[in-house]
Structure 1
Amino acid sequence: GGSSKRHQWNEAQVLKAIEQIVQQHPQSSVILTTSRRTPENFLAHLGQQSYAARLDIYPVEHTPQGWIFEQMQLADTVYVTEDSVSMIFEAQTAGCRVGVIAIDRLKSDRITHMIDQLAHDQITDVIRLLHHAAPLSEADRVASQILGLSSS
């Protein structure tokens, strides 16, 4: 993620969240990728952290199209900064547990309220974890409604 019209990038907060993720999953492979909005110097600062050696880092500019979604389908849990709303829903669509890394908000609106609603009762200091029993399948749900196959 990175700064957006709703959020201000907070590098210290993101680094702390990544450290917590690495510490909470000592036996797991932790893959990290950036987005187009991630500040240029973030990876250099991340590389200076003691836990960085436990990360497999793939800058977004070095990943082929579709790579992120393929990785999500292989993952048990995907952590996303809260400014990356589309990534949150892509991870849910892939069937993952989704951890939302809180970053500073510039304003509150329907999008930030939606993130809060998704994370309701699951908030920690830095990382919020969303639990969904089934992957999102909105296209299938809408198609079923159009065809009259479902009353939901």
Structure 2
Amino acid sequence: MSDVLQILLLTDGKPGHENQSRGLAEALGRLTPVHVTLLPVEKRHLIASLFSSGKLHEDIPRPDLVIGAGHAVHGRMLAISRSSEAPCVVMMKPTLPCNFFDLCLIPRHDLRGKPPRTNMVATRGALNRVPPPGIRSRSSGLIMVGGPSSSYAWDSEGISTAVCAIINACGDRAWRITDSRRSPDGELEALAEACPALVTHPHATTGRDWLPDRLSEATEVWVSEDSVSMIYEALSSGAQVGLLSVPRLKPNGRVARGIDELIADGYLMPFSKWDRVTPLPEAPEVLRESERCAVEVLKRFFPKLADAK
């Protein structure tokens, strides 16, 4: 291996999956020099991709590490790992048996209370690209809203009431709001009409670095409960985080249980329990799961690099 860790990042084109892989790669880059190559993977039958050739185009450096997220990349990353003899790290619980992979980074609510095996790391939520809190001055507020999903319905009126109350209580702060791919059409426009002080940023107009940059500037962040990945991104930023409730379709489901655990542990303040004259409380700690997993990857597969830190 050269002095630079060659990382091959496989992507199925879904931003949520790619952000998890990039989060790990960027955290590794904060620990040791890395070079990241992005390899888009076409959707194929899982078995066919599993037994496909692991040969790479000559323009792609031989990887030292293969990482990826999403069922579509599992077979291909295993084939490349087998061919290159590079360890492979998968995000989230894979479709294939976990013992196929060198390391699985699995949100602990997906383990359903079972202890992780030796090739697993139980994470608190999904990994993300939010950098560690720095010295940048924090003064703004950020609101992130999602939309209906398999686990949650939507309540536009309830969200609007909560957002307006937050803006009115903290009017001395500059407030931004962004949405997601699941947000109902016209949601941001309606919220901006109800709360003229809001500056809207539709997700389709923001770049890859927009959200990490805005989170690093925010003192206070409010996230709709359905937006689990956004919740963990906010908790990774060092901001104080509030929760905008929406109706639960699966009150006893794994997603809801994970949210309730964060509330019970003091990481999230639900809007219904928020005291409008008191700032949101600080979380017990800033969640830095990307960094924790990056350290684990170096210890397991590149101990000389880990020892050099």
- TM-score by structure 1 length? 0.84
Alignment of 1:2-151 (within 5 A): 2-49=147-194, 52-108=195-251, 109-120=253-264, 122-125=269-272, 131-144=282-295, 147=299
Structure 1 position 141, deviation (Å): 2.6
Structure 1 position 44, deviation (Å): 3.3
How many Å separate the matches in 2 of 1:72 and 1:29? 13
How many Å separate the matches in 2 of 1:126 and 1:103? 14
DSSP-derived class of the 1:72 partner: helix
Greater shift after overlay, 39-48 or 96-105? 39-48
User: How many residue pairs get matched?
Assistant: 147
Alpha carbons of structure 1 residues 145 and 60: separation in structure 2 relative to 1, 3 Å: closer
Structure 1 position 5, deviation (Å): 0.3
Q: Deviations over 1:48-104 (max 9, x none)?
A: 32xx22111111111112201110111011111000000000111111111110001
How many Å separate the matches in 2 of 1:71 and 1:64? 11
Structure 1 position 41, deviation (Å): 2.1
- RMSD across aligned positions (CA): 2.4
Does the 8 Å CA contact 1:118/1:130 hold for their aligned counterparts? no
Greater shift after overlay, 133-142 or 79-88? 133-142
Structure 1 position 113, deviation (Å): 1.1
4+ long deviations beyond 6 Å: none
Alpha carbons of structure 1 residues 44 and 134: separation in structure 2 relative to 1, 3 Å: same
Alpha carbons of structure 1 residues 9 and 144: separation in structure 2 relative to 1, 3 Å: same
How many Å separate the matches in 2 of 1:42 and 1:94? 25
Greater shift after overlay, 8-17 or 131-140? 131-140
DSSP-derived class of the 1:70 partner: helix
- The structure that has the greater radius of gyration is 2
Structure 1 position 124, deviation (Å): 4.4
Alpha carbons of structure 1 residues 19 and 139: separation in structure 2 relative to 1, 3 Å: same
How many Å separate the matches in 2 of 1:44 and 1:139? 34
Q: Percent identity?
A: 30
Does the 8 Å CA contact 1:8/1:104 hold for their aligned counterparts? yes
Does the 8 Å CA contact 1:92/1:135 hold for their aligned counterparts? yes
User: Larger % of helix: which?
Assistant: 1
Q: Which structure 2 segments of 5+ residues have no match?
A: 1-145, 301-305
Q: RCO higher in 1 or 2 (8 Å CA, sep ≥ 6)?
A: 1
**Matched letter for residue 137 of structure 1:** R
Alpha carbons of structure 1 residues 140 and 55: separation in structure 2 relative to 1, 3 Å: same
Alpha carbons of structure 1 residues 136 and 47: separation in structure 2 relative to 1, 3 Å: closer
